[in-house]
């Protein structure tokens, strides 16, 4: 993607959705951290179904600990890898209670020491809960960044660093959500909807797809 295309690309996404939000349901920083930890290799819809039952019963580190691992598992067993996730969440809750007074720390370094919390999860918490301009590169953002030419890279970290360098400062706080939503609903893995995409004109693949479609229509009309 040409440098001069980046501004209109994000301006268009912003105009369509000025205040994008995560689709995970939460009412506190701890609920957000828990939901993101549970969402690895799972859908937000599936996580929300489980946490709608879990959080009214236990939504603090101490309350999760009081459930016990078996009790926690009974609430999240519909989520993939629920046993290992329950173990990690229990361990995380113990650390939060013992070392942080039950509060979620606000630094990447501290967050990444929590079991089950990697760089992506830490970035989500820093961005969504604390408003920091971090970039959590999931499968959607990785695909969109490479496909559009915005920030091509072979690893999530390479894409993350390139995104932070290329995205104008004014758009960085919300860019994570815009790119996820674009990948989830429009720039899909198997069937990208270039014809319906509002930013296809600035996208490397989208512009080529639309140009090819126009050529086909032109030939057909002759």
Distance CA 104, CA 100 (A): 7
Q: Which of 3, 44, 120, 165 is catalytic?
A: 120
Q: CB-based burial of residue 61 (10 Å sphere; 0-12 exposed, 13-18 middle, 19+ buried)?
A: buried
Q: Which of 21, 66, 87, 138 is catalytic?
A: 138
Q: Is 120 a catalytic residue?
A: yes
- C-alpha distances (whole Å) from 215 to each of 1, 6, 59, 112, 204 are 22, 26, 56, 50, 17
The DSSP code for 105 is: P
Q: Do 72 and 79 touch, CB atoms closer than 8 A?
A: no
3-state DSSP assignment of residue 130: coil
Residue 184's contacts (CB-CB under 8 Å, 6 or more residues apart) are: 140
Return the closest-CA partner of residue 171 out of 127, 121, 220, 124.
127
Report the catalytic residues: 120, 138
């Amino acid at each position: 993607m040409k440098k001069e295309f980046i501004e209109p690309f994000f301006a268009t996404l912003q105009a369509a959705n000025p205040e994008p939000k995560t689709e995970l349901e939460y009412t506190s920083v701890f609920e957000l951290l828990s939901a993101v930890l549970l969402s690895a290799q799972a859908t937000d819809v599936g996580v929300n179904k489980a946490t709608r039952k879990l959080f009214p019963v236990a939504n603090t580190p101490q309350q999760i600990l009081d459930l016990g691992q078996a009790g926690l598992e009974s609430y999240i067993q519909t989520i993939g890898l629920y046993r290992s996730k329950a173990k990690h969440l229990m361990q995380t809750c113990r650390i939060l209670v013992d070392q942080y007074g039950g509060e979620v720390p606000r630094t990447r370094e501290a967050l990444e020491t929590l079991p089950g919390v990697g760089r992506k999860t830490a970035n989500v918490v820093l961005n969504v809960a604390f408003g920091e301009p971090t970039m959590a590169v999931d499968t959607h953002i990785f695909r969109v960044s490479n496909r559009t030419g915005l920030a091509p890279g072979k690893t999530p970290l390479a894409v993350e660093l390139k995104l932070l360098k290329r995205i104008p400062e004014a758009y960085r706080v919300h860019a994570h959500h815009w790119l996820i939503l674009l990948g989830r609903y429009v720039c899909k893995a198997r069937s990208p909807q270039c014809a319906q995409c509002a930013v296809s004109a600035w996208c490397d693949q989208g512009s080529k797809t639309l140009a090819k479609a126009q050529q086909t229509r032109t030939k057909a009309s002759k």
